[in-house]
Copies of this chain bind each other. A is one copy, B any other.
């Protein structure tokens, strides 16, 4: 929970920097709202028992409840909202892989009718700010556009009724070689091999601006309306992403097909080195070991540990989902959003941290005594510290052993001990000891402080320690930074 709370705080800080607010929706929705939104995965929805009244189900994600909420509140024409909460899937749990029946999702969405690609660009900027602040290592934002993909399939000659299923085959290119994907298209899905080859020429392409230019020069592509619209969007997006300094993280990847049917514009997925394929798969194993998997190959995979290169965030533009719940004839509010896979981020973060260094509580001072216990005196001093806003605790025993008190403080990594002795107290004094000082430090055995100065003295020392922490941080940063002369630009 300590690590999780830190991750939440990092993410929320970024959301707030971009003017986001949070909303809360109930953990259950009407069953009918959820049904028909997740394809075959609807069987993973938890239903509540029929105990009278409306039939309800537990939410499966945070996107459908958000869209339902927007539709029910037509006065809200625009909002930047984040929502960090749990969702429920009646899946086979795999605890070691981080696949749970109850897990957190963290969604950020911008709803509103705006000029093209501006909000889309800000979502991607937010994504880089979050990933940079979480310090998860090198990452790439793979990006594509539904209109480009659909146009591409049209141009290559995929029959309309096969577009979605061929799209989901293409989406497997991140973990399977082209030959396997082609086999799936032709043998399993009955696509003409020549059509598959045409697709193959395109979907292996990835890059940046230069790939956009290449596509723009291909008249076969630009003559397709859908493709042309998609490429225009991408060109504009790339301009905005350059301003936002996001382009260096972007890989325009024609094989990215992604999830749910409701996407209508750009789609994206974030992969990190830390979330790369397990060794057995990277070494060329042709097919991933079959596990109980989501039956919908297009399903959101940001929390799916079974895939080769796991994404830690994913999303896209969905302009028509709100309209599905709306009573209004005008249609619903267009939206673009991203969902962060918190459990995967948590796993990466946890693996990078020294678990010994994670403190379970934040106590600053442990108030202890030797000899007769001095319970009431310890309580009095704890009260003084609390009154001053200092985090303090003491043993709930009348006569605790000194050893046990030190152990309790050390186990929790408490930085200071206030030690009471009868003689010192008679003089109106206590001993203040900074724990964990090295042998030979002049204050290793603590300093004597008068009772009336205790809270002030503790606060002063906490401030000094906090300053020391700040002084160390920039040095550490410098060690990780390349010297300017290696940069090549100078």
Contact = CB atoms under 8 A, between A and B. Distances in A.
A485 interface: no
B19 A396 contact: no
B49 A392 contact: no
A262 interface: no
Interface string A359-383: 0111100000000000110011001
Interface string A1-25: 1100100000000001111111110
A386 B47 contact: no
Contacts of A115: 375, 396-398
Interface string A314-343: 000000000000000000000000000000
A391 interface: yes
A19 B379 contact: no
Given A1-B22, A386-B129, A119 B396 contact: yes
A463 interface: no
Contacts of A379: 118, 121, 240, 243-244
A138 interface: no
Nearest to A79: B360
A393 B47 contact: no
B19 A86 contact: no
A442 interface: no
Nearest to A16: B362
Nearest to A101: B26
Nearest to A86: B27
A102 B29 CA distance: 12
Given A47-B49, A102-B27, A119-B396, A361 B16 contact: yes
Given A1-B22, A47-B49, A125 B360 contact: no
Contact of A46 (B19, B51, B383, B393): B51
A17 B49 contact: no
Contacts of A49: 46-50
B386 A17 contact: yes
Contacts of A114: 396-397
Contacts of A119: 396
Contacts of A239: 376
Contacts of A396: 110, 112, 114-115, 118-119, 122
A290 interface: no
B86 A389 contact: no
A390 interface: yes
A349 interface: no
Identify the interface centre among A376, A380, A383, A396: most chain B CB within 10 Å of its CB: A396
A383 B1 contact: no
A361 B81 CA distance: 10
A2 B21 contact: yes
A75 interface: no
A166 to B, nearest CB: 33
A90 interface: yes
B243 A383 contact: yes
A482 interface: no
A245 interface: yes
10 contacts: A5-B22, A17-B391, A20-B361, A21-B361, A28-B102, A46-B49, A48-B48, A110-B396, A118-B398, A244-B383
